[in-house]
Structure 1
Amino acid sequence: MGMILMKLASILLLILTLVVCIIITKLFRLKKLGRNFADLAFPVLVFEYYLITAKTFTHNFLPRLGLALSVLAIILVFFFLLKKRSFYYPKFIKFFWRAGFLLTLVMYIEMITELLVQK
């Protein structure tokens, strides 16, 4: 019963996080400030990723996520230096934050599928 509840909770947390972040972004008109729902959802998804993996698996997957985000940061630094020939910190941080959201979302979905395959 507990594992079924965690499977359901992981799916519902993902959906609710995205919906609530979209509603908050539209309600407070954060788009005018240059923010979108991914800027709000990224830290929440990281926390949920840690919470779900710590409760359901033997070892949490936070090191996996940290390694993936570190590789993403290195790739982005090389991209900015080789393609753009310049490195502007605010632009890098904004790009990393949004790309990190996409990477975390993909890893969260992968974690859900891993959880659903488990007995």
Structure 2
Amino acid sequence: MNNPEEIVIPIAVFTAMLIFVGILLMYSLSKKRLFLKFIGQHDDLSPDSIKAIGKVLFSANNDMRKGVFSLLLAFAIWGFSFMADFPQNGNLDLNDAIFGLGLFPFCGGIAYLILTFVERK
């Protein structure tokens, strides 16, 4: 890596991944805060109604959607890795690196699908 431009692409890719994960975490936190604020404003709610509202917001269907989306993202990354022909130049083969990056959403998708089926039982 004698050339400073060679490091820009990996930094940009990993920064984009961090920003994406950060946005997902912020959305999840804001949804939980909204749920707690709603419960705080409505003191007359019964525990059964609170549980029903919580199931709608934090249901297993959300895990199923996240799992399917993660699996599709992984297959898209893998497909891109197979379709693109990156030169090796004696360094790390970029196809293998992109294929390895595709394992992260794949494993996440499998985990969410497992959570979906465990929660249903």
Higher-Rg structure is 2
TM-score interval (norm. to shorter): 0.3 to 0.5
Q: Point out which structure has higher relative CO (alpha carbons under 8 A, 6+ apart).
A: 1
TM-score, normalised to structure 1, is 0.36
TM-score, normalised to structure 2, is 0.36
